[in-house]
Chains A and B, each alone.
Chain A
Amino acid sequence: MSSETKQILTTDGIPLEVSLKKAEKKNKIKAFLLVAPLLFFLIITYVFPIGDMLFRSVDDKMVTQMLPKTFKAMESWDGQELPEEEVFAAFHEDFIKLVEDKREGKLSTQLNYTKNGFKSIIKKLRRASKKFEEGNYKEQIMSVHKRWADVEYWRAIQRRAPEFTGQKYLKGMDMYVNEEGKIVSVEEDRRIHRVLWLRTLEIAFFVTVFCFLMAYPIAHLLATLPMKYSNLLMICVLLPFWTSLLVRTASWMILLQQQGIVNDFFVGIGLVADDNRPEMMYNKTGSYVAMTQILLPFMVLPLYSVMKTISPSLMRAGKSLGGTPFVAFWKVYFPLTIPGIGAGCLLVFILAIGYYITPALVGGASGTLISNQIAFHMKSTLDWSFASAMGLMLLSGVLVIYWLYNKIVGIDNIKLG
């Protein structure tokens, strides 16, 4: 057919199809060029650095680069008996070089992470190595300390040979690779990270539930009241939303302190004795109360925007068909609000799971979350690779939730106020 019909040409004599395709391509490039500055800016300053975190979290080149000859010599060692003289000689050579560069301290810190007890024997080895004679390094090193003659310590060194390691991720879940190379959990009383993960999930979950329970009635009221009143009440939701997080946390610190207004009120109504005021801050209660109030607007706004679109005649129809108001609500109104509930809950949950400032200020020791641990390792212990690993574990959790959000509501439906 097409070969017989005359091709449609533009005034320039180019076939229309080709010309349209060209225009389409031009438009695509134009649109992309507009997005490009921001896209490349974000890729360079944001997406790559997150990739960098991934790299840092598994990077373990330090020891590999400090003991290159040792690891080369160890390749043929089966790890059963003490290594041969050539391994000791290679280790001696690497070690002398490290002492010259004054880097043996770093080595001892790193090896001590793998197995306790390296710190002192490396110090002893440094002192002794000055008097070492050439040849038979095995005997000489072993005579420095009995641990140098212990095969366990040589196995510990060998475990640091790979350039990459997943041990930071294991540490984040309170696990480690033991001497036999198996993944095991640390002792019961040292499982601090699992406690933190569980607590983060628990607090995020309950804050979401509280927010939902409180937001649903007021979103409904806002959506059904006449514009005049609802606009006024909306300020109660929007003012906290626009107010600084630190200001809101500060006000909770004033309210919840032991001589604070909430406690005064409890004493006033005789709920608690004056000399036995409960501690409501610097624990989980503080985190719960403050986070619920701070995140509440994020639940109200999506619920409100969905409820606003539900026609009141639907409820009336439900009632006129014989349903009691409760049945009409449960069978007609509630199912229609589910998209809003999904959006609000996931938004609050995502925000709560990564919360840092409020728990750090009002949470005390029992109310801090995984974010606080990440910040602690970034600022205090400077174990950046561990902070990166934990950050990425948190991020992957958030991405799963976000993916759900996208499935249920869609990225394009995010509404702000």
Chain B
Amino acid sequence: MALPKYTEPHYRIWHYVYLTICGAVFFFLIAPLFVIFPLSFNAEEFLSFSDGMKSLDPDAFSLRWYKDMIYGTKNPWGLAAKNSFIIAIFATIGSVILGTVAALGLSSRHMPYKGLIMAVLISPMIVPLIISGVAIFFFMAKAGLAATHTGIVLAHIILGTPFVVITVTATLSGFDHSVTRAAASLGSDPVNTFMKITLPLILPGVISGGLFAFVTSFDEVVVVLFLAGLENTTIPIQMWTGLREQLSPTILAVATCLIILSTLILVTAELLRRRSERLRGINR
């Protein structure tokens, strides 16, 4: 964005003002995340920088909140983490299977009532979570699935499928259907064709949809608040209770771990996106 030499002074000034504004906005976006890192190593119980931390005194830093997170007797983080991962993994598997199969049907040009069905399929993404929460709670209560892992997994499948449907449909839009016809003409049955031809080609879309579904389930708190009993507590629920009652530095230790996890997911998602863009580029 270097300015040409002939730029007039007031445009030059405006350009730097513009860059400053952009810098400020980027700072506003990313800086809050980085406050959590140093404070999670605080040796004291306060949620502000102690004088020792400001002067970088090594004694002011410690791993005590991380130890508390893992070994703390009163902390249900272990159970919460276990539940969160179990629920998120099953919800992701369910969403990916249902969503991918539905996306295959939706991107067929023979699909009747495409608009209407698409609207129904992605509605859980558009309807405010609180309303989804109320509706899903009514269903689970009637079905006797409230306060069970199964109920929460089903709820998260509902919330996760729209992301899979959207990403896989987008991937399939650049898909050359003649390859499946070629496979069929060579005697392959539809299931075999899907596993050997279609799936490998749309895999980046499937995985990134799955990542969305995983994050949705792993972060989800509104619906779980309605559904979960004591045994079904998840990381978001524990954070929610912690933040409402007392902001303890242990929460910051958990938050730091979550930021690291989301960084990993971000990197994976970005690599997949680039790969799929590259593949689509070759198709053209």
Inter-subunit contact B135/A354 (CB<8 Å): no
A117 to chain B, nearest CB (A): 32
B24 to chain A, nearest CB (A): 9
Inter-subunit contact A50/B239 (CB<8 Å): no
Specify which of B215, B218, B221, B239 lies most central, judged by the most chain A CB atoms within 10 Å of its CB. B239
Q: Which of A32, A37, A46, A296 contacts B136 (CB 8 A)?
A: A46
For A52, the chain B residues whose CB sits under 8 A away are 135, 138-139
Inter-subunit contact A24/B130 (CB<8 Å): no
B59-67, B68-76, B120-128, B181-189: which lies at the A interface?
B120-128
Inter-subunit contact B110/A257 (CB<8 Å): no
Residue of A nearest to B139 (CB): A49
- Chain B 155-169, CB within 8 Å of chain A: the 1/0 string? 101100101011100
A394 in contact with B117 given A37-B102, A242-B265, A254-B39 (CB within 8 Å): no
Inter-subunit contact B244/A354 (CB<8 Å): no
A38 in contact with B11 given A244-B262, A411-B119 (CB within 8 Å): no
Rounded to whole angstroms, the CA-CA distance of A261 and B34 in the bound complex is 12
For B134, the chain A residues whose CB sits under 8 A away are 53, 374, 378, 384, 387-388, 391
Residue of A nearest to B15 (CB): A325
Q: Which of A33, A250, A374, A379 contacts B105 (CB 8 A)?
A: A33
- In the complex, the number of residue pairs spanning A and B with C-beta atoms less than 8 Å apart equals 268
Residue of B nearest to A414 (CB): B166
Specify which of B121, B129, B255 lies most central, judged by the most chain A CB atoms within 10 Å of its CB. B255
B210 to chain A, nearest CB (A): 13
A269 close to chain B: CB less than 8 A: no
A321 close to chain B: CB less than 8 A: no
Inter-subunit contact A49/B138 (CB<8 Å): yes
Q: Which of A225, A237, A257 contacts B47 (CB 8 A)?
A: A257
A9-17, A216-224, A272-280: which lies at the B interface?
A216-224
B25 close to chain A: CB less than 8 A: yes
Q: Which of B11, B126, B222, B236 contacts A350 (CB 8 A)?
A: B126
Specify which of B18, B28, B39 lies most central, judged by the most chain A CB atoms within 10 Å of its CB. B28
A371 in contact with B130 given A35-B105, A237-B29 (CB within 8 Å): yes
Rounded to whole angstroms, the CA-CA distance of A238 and B111 in the bound complex is 34
Rounded to whole angstroms, the CA-CA distance of A221 and B251 in the bound complex is 35
Inter-subunit contact B130/A34 (CB<8 Å): no
Rounded to whole angstroms, the CA-CA distance of A44 and B143 in the bound complex is 11
Rounded to whole angstroms, the CA-CA distance of A407 and B83 in the bound complex is 41
Rounded to whole angstroms, the CA-CA distance of A264 and B123 in the bound complex is 44
A residues 239-267 with Cβ under 8 Å of B? Answer: 239-240, 242-255, 257, 259-261, 264
Specify which of A52, A243, A402 lies most central, judged by the most chain B CB atoms within 10 Å of its CB. A243
B207 close to chain A: CB less than 8 A: no
Inter-subunit contact B29/A224 (CB<8 Å): no
A169 to chain B, nearest CB (A): 15
Inter-subunit contact B135/A38 (CB<8 Å): no
Inter-subunit contact A293/B28 (CB<8 Å): yes
A39 to chain B, nearest CB (A): 6
For B19, the chain A residues whose CB sits under 8 A away are 221
A356 close to chain B: CB less than 8 A: yes
B128 to chain A, nearest CB (A): 2
A395 in contact with B127 given A39-B117, A357-B240 (CB within 8 Å): yes
Inter-subunit contact B120/A45 (CB<8 Å): no
Residue of A nearest to B190 (CB): A30
For B247, the chain A residues whose CB sits under 8 A away are 250, 253-254
Rounded to whole angstroms, the CA-CA distance of A260 and B258 in the bound complex is 22
B residues 88-102 with Cβ under 8 Å of A? Answer: 98-99, 101-102
Inter-subunit contact A32/B105 (CB<8 Å): yes
Inter-subunit contact B102/A34 (CB<8 Å): yes
A-B contact pairs, 11 of them (CB 8 A): A44-B139, A48-B139, A53-B131, A244-B219, A247-B36, A250-B36, A251-B36, A261-B35, A293-B32, A353-B128, A354-B130
Interface residues of B (CB under 8 A from A): 1, 11, 18-19, 21-22, 25-26, 28-30, 32-33, 35-36, 39, 46-49, 98-99, 101-102, 104-106, 108, 110-112, 115, 117-124, 126-139, 154-155, 157-158, 161, 163, 165-167, 170, 212, 215, 218-219, 221-222, 225-226, 236, 239-240, 243-244, 247, 251-252, 255, 258-259, 262-263, 265-266, 269-270, 273
The 6 closest A-B pairs by CB, nearest first: A354-B128, A34-B105, A35-B105, A31-B108, A27-B110, A49-B135
Interface residues of A (CB under 8 A from B): 24, 27-28, 30-39, 41-50, 52-53, 56, 214-215, 217-218, 221, 224-225, 233, 235-240, 242-255, 257, 259-261, 264, 293, 296-297, 325, 350, 353-357, 360-361, 371, 374-375, 378-379, 384, 387-388, 391-392, 394-395, 398, 402, 411-412, 414-417
Extra pairs beyond A244-B219, A246-B239, A416-B212 (8, CB < 8 Å):
A37-B98, A46-B158, A239-B262, A244-B239, A249-B243, A264-B48, A391-B130, A391-B131
